[in-house]
Chain A
Amino acid sequence: MEGHFESVERKAEAAHLGMWLFLASEVLLFGALFAVYSGCRVEFGADFVVASSHNSIAIGTTNTFVLVTSSLCAALAVHGARSGHLRRAAALLGVTVLFGLAFLVLKGVEYGEHFQSGIFPGSHYHYAELPTHGANAFFTLYYLMTALHGLHVTGGMLALGVVGHRAWRGGYSAERHLPLELSVLYWHLVDVIWLFLWPLLYLMH
């Protein structure tokens, strides 16, 4: 089970470090978009503020609460797994996935409203109330950032679903549940990224 590692602890240490490095590269993937956002924000200042106030702050804030709570469930699942309550951990992961689903549904509702007003990314943008280049750039970035984040939410749900299923079937124990811990780490990262997207895309005033 330990393969070529000298001990289980070494294996866990390696897996954790590897996961954190992967998370680091994910942050930099978003970091590129944050850099573009910073540039455009300086360039278009006022247009960005006006455009952002068109985003539904109710949906954005609800989604923040949804993700934060899902993170709590995921953290409790790890806690449960460590103390040997694998069934409880699996159930908590199920709840986490449901929260993720709720997040995506709300996001879909928001996308739908935007599409109806003609807010599309890039050259397909034709929202009559805000015909500025700045608004166009803002919504393009909005779509890029939230779509990439949505993909990560989906990936996280899949990962949590798999490990949750395995935990339910008794595939882990209090001592051995490394995939569960790592998947939850990934889910927390998805949460952290949203914590920054929310103020940048919804809270400007």
Chain B
Amino acid sequence: MTAPSLTLPRTVEEPPLLAPAAPADYLHGGGVRSWLLTRDHKRIAVMFLGATSLSLLLGGILALLLRVELLTPGPTIMSAGAYNRSFTMHGIVMVFMFMIPAIPTVFGNFLLPLMLGARDVAFPRLNLASFYVYLLGSAITLTSLVAGGADMGWTFYVPYSTTSPSAVANVAFGVFVLGLSSVMTGINFIVTVHTMRTAGLSWHRLPLFVWSLYGTSIIQVLATPVLGMSLLLVAADRLFGIGIFDPALGGDPLLFQHLFWFYSHPAVYIMILPAMGVISEVVCVYSRNPPASYRAIAYSSLGIALVGFLTWGHHLFVAGMSLFDGAVFGVLSMFVAVFSAIKVFTWTATLRRGSVSFETPMLYFFWFMFLFAFGGMTGVAVATSSLDIHWHDTYFVVAHFHFIMVGGTLTAYLAALHYWFPKFFGRRYNERWATIASVTVFVGFVLTFVPQFLLGNAGMPRRYYAYPPEFQWLNVLSTGGASILAAGMLLTLVELGYALAAGPRTERNPWGSRSYEWLSASPPPTENFENELVIARGPYDYHLPE
């Protein structure tokens, strides 16, 4: 990306701020009806922001209930059954209703057309449909709460999920519908990247966030149907007793685990790839540097998407899988670490000789790097089958995937929320309060999950509501950390809510980014760009004047 040709897009001159002739932005005009039936990707993104935030809130409240229950070795506030139902819903809501859709549907929807210089995504009606399908899927999933909850865990393992008396079928069907929404978004994004790029925007001028969305979408389209089918089989087994996974009928329960992880391991990359895209954008902007290697980051996104499909078996090491498959999957799993490490080193090298500033999104970049590196290395450890046998189904695994999946996704999500807040709403958040909230979130997160690494290594199994008294001090620490984390999230909510209502108005490109989404007004007008954009430079050409 060294093309030094000067940029002269026709829209590059500053739109006059607050001038009477300024076109209406996308947020204004029309009533509730015009929002609910909108085909504008930006409004759909904002509606998704609301919906996924509610999911995050619900999943967070459930997490707090779980941590309160674990304060004492015996029963604290709920029964064993209620505990099972709570951790199941916590996992389901967080994975399928927040982490998988959140960054693509909110930031992907809003930014992808802007980054491509396009008016909208390729199929705007499909985009709106995917929002309502998401709502429908969430509603069906949540009916299980009314039906008394479901207690099979977010992994739906048979034969328990086919025999449990709780409302498993509601959840299975709800997640199936959520998967439909995911596939719709994936198809839309891939086609958009292929066909909606504006003049001059070659593949190697795409912002890195676009590359990561592209990789994510491929996984969504190819892997989600497999999950859908495996959940339909669970539901069919409950309704009609098809017994394909039931040992009593000659079925094989491991087949389910194969199908489930064939989706759900790549799904980890559905969650983390968009997060990596956010991080790539943030690190370049706040170090005012191009990425140390654009191609390394871009291609490793595709590499992760590919290798992500080759590793599902490492979830089955202790389930009775053959040693042969175990060895193959153990080795293949290590390759993911190679691509992830390429990214981590490239991000770090991007800081070199940059002029780094420490706004809130950049803080989240550092939190992300810590959590991702730590979670990633423990991931290599548990992919080693001999070690995994010790740690499997203990809190070590819980802490590992919370570090990498939740830590990675959540910090990137919050980084994105702050970084693009001016783009979304045309207002600035308060840097001091955002910094306090950010530090609180990080401290709370680490304090919640580091004790869980220790607990797991000491042998505390996951999904138990009671434990021997010698584990109590670590559990109390973890619950304390969770409370700090919750306080940090609450503070973020208040701080951003205040910014939304009364934050100072911002100029078009407050961070001095070179990426294309900032070439339109903030917030953008309904048609995104007043004139057609012609791209004549890369998205990270910080050596050129804006």
A179 within 8 A of B: no
B36 within 8 A of A: no
Extra inter-chain contacts (18) besides given A21-B186, A122-B240, CB under 8 Å = A14-B194, A17-B191, A21-B190, A25-B224, A28-B222, A28-B225, A29-B228, A31-B225, A32-B225, A32-B228, A33-B229, A121-B240, A122-B243, A123-B242, A134-B250, A136-B249, A140-B244, A144-B242
Are A39 and B225 in touch, CB under 8 angstroms? no
Are A26 and B225 in touch, CB under 8 angstroms? yes
Partner of B243, one of A3, A35, A140: A140
Distance of A31 Cα from B221 Cα, bound (Å): 13
Distance from B43 Cβ to chain A, minimum over Cβ atoms (Å): 15
Question: Given contacts A10-B195, A18-B122, are A25 and B183 in contact (CB under 8 A)?
Answer: yes
Distance of A4 Cα from B242 Cα, bound (Å): 48
B226 within 8 A of A: yes
Are A21 and B249 in touch, CB under 8 angstroms? no
* Chain A contact residues: helix, strand, loop or mixed: helix
What residues of A have a CB within 8 angstroms of the CB of B221 in the complex?
Answer: 21, 24-25, 28
Are B249 and A123 in touch, CB under 8 angstroms? yes
What residues of B have a CB within 8 angstroms of the CB of A133 in the complex?
Answer: 249-250
Distance of A124 Cα from B259 Cα, bound (Å): 24
Distance of A25 Cα from B249 Cα, bound (Å): 30
What residues of B have a CB within 8 angstroms of the CB of A17 in the complex?
Answer: 190-191, 194-195
Tell me the chain B residues, 186-231 only, with Cβ under 8 Å from chain A. 186-188, 190-191, 194-196, 221-226, 228-230
Tell me the chain B residues, 214-273 only, with Cβ under 8 Å from chain A. 221-226, 228-230, 233, 236-237, 240-244, 246, 249-252, 255, 258-259, 262
Are B259 and A36 in touch, CB under 8 angstroms? yes
Partner of B244, one of A10, A21, A28, A36: A36
B120 within 8 A of A: yes
Distance from A32 Cβ to chain B, minimum over Cβ atoms (Å): 4
B118 within 8 A of A: yes
A40 within 8 A of B: yes
Distance of A44 Cα from B237 Cα, bound (Å): 20
Which residues of A line the B interface, CB within 8 A? 3-5, 10, 13-14, 17-18, 21-22, 24-26, 28-29, 31-33, 35-36, 39-40, 43-44, 121-124, 132-134, 136-137, 140-141, 144
Question: Given contacts A122-B243, A122-B249, are A39 and B258 in contact (CB under 8 A)?
Answer: yes
Question: Given contacts A14-B195, A32-B225, are A136 and B250 in contact (CB under 8 A)?
Answer: yes
Question: Given contacts A14-B122, A21-B221, A24-B222, are A140 and B187 in contact (CB under 8 A)?
Answer: no
Distance from A148 Cβ to chain B, minimum over Cβ atoms (Å): 8
Distance of A99 Cα from B226 Cα, bound (Å): 30
Distance from A78 Cβ to chain B, minimum over Cβ atoms (Å): 21
Partner of A141, one of B196, B244, B249, B259: B244
Question: Given contacts A24-B222, A28-B222, A39-B258, are A18 and B241 in contact (CB under 8 A)?
Answer: no
Distance of A25 Cα from B118 Cα, bound (Å): 26
CB-nearest residue of chain A relative to B226?
A: A32
B123 within 8 A of A: yes
Complex A-B, nearest 8 residue pairs according to Cβ-Cβ distance, in ascending order: A133-B250, A32-B229, A122-B242, A123-B241, A29-B225, A28-B225, A122-B243, A14-B195
Give the residue among B194, B244, B246, B262 with the most A Cβ atoms within 10 A. B244
Question: Given contacts A25-B183, A29-B228, are A144 and B244 in contact (CB under 8 A)?
Answer: yes
Distance of A141 Cα from B194 Cα, bound (Å): 38
Distance from A124 Cβ to chain B, minimum over Cβ atoms (Å): 7
What residues of B have a CB within 8 angstroms of the CB of A21 in the complex?
Answer: 186-187, 190-191, 221
B402 within 8 A of A: no
B119 within 8 A of A: yes
What residues of A have a CB within 8 angstroms of the CB of B123 in the complex?
Answer: 14, 18
Are A124 and B229 in touch, CB under 8 angstroms? no
Are A22 and B240 in touch, CB under 8 angstroms? no
Sampled A-B contacts (14; CB under 8 Å): A18-B123, A18-B187, A18-B188, A21-B191, A25-B187, A25-B221, A32-B230, A35-B226, A36-B259, A40-B244, A40-B252, A137-B249, A140-B242, A144-B233
Distance from B127 Cβ to chain A, minimum over Cβ atoms (Å): 12
CB-nearest residue of chain B relative to A31?
A: B226
Partner of A121, one of B122, B242, B246: B242
Partner of A14, one of B191, B225, B230, B246: B191
Distance of A40 Cα from B186 Cα, bound (Å): 32
What residues of B have a CB within 8 angstroms of the CB of A124 in the complex?
Answer: 240-241
CB-nearest residue of chain A relative to B263?
A: A32
What residues of A have a CB within 8 angstroms of the CB of B246 in the complex?
Answer: 123
Q: Per-residue CB proximity of B144-188 to A under 8 Å, as 1/0?
A: 000000000000000000000000000000000000000100111
What residues of A have a CB within 8 angstroms of the CB of B120 in the complex?
Answer: 4
Distance from A143 Cβ to chain B, minimum over Cβ atoms (Å): 8
Partner of B225, one of A13, A25, A137: A25
What residues of A have a CB within 8 angstroms of the CB of B194 in the complex?
Answer: 13-14, 17
Distance of A25 Cα from B225 Cα, bound (Å): 6
Give the residue among A10, A18, A35, A144 with the most B Cβ atoms within 10 A. A18
Distance of A43 Cα from B244 Cα, bound (Å): 13
Partner of B262, one of A3, A18, A35, A44: A35
Q: Per-residue CB proximity of B284-312 to A under 8 Å, as 1/0?
A: 00000000000000000000000000000
Are A39 and B195 in touch, CB under 8 angstroms? no
What residues of A have a CB within 8 angstroms of the CB of B262 in the complex?
Answer: 32, 35
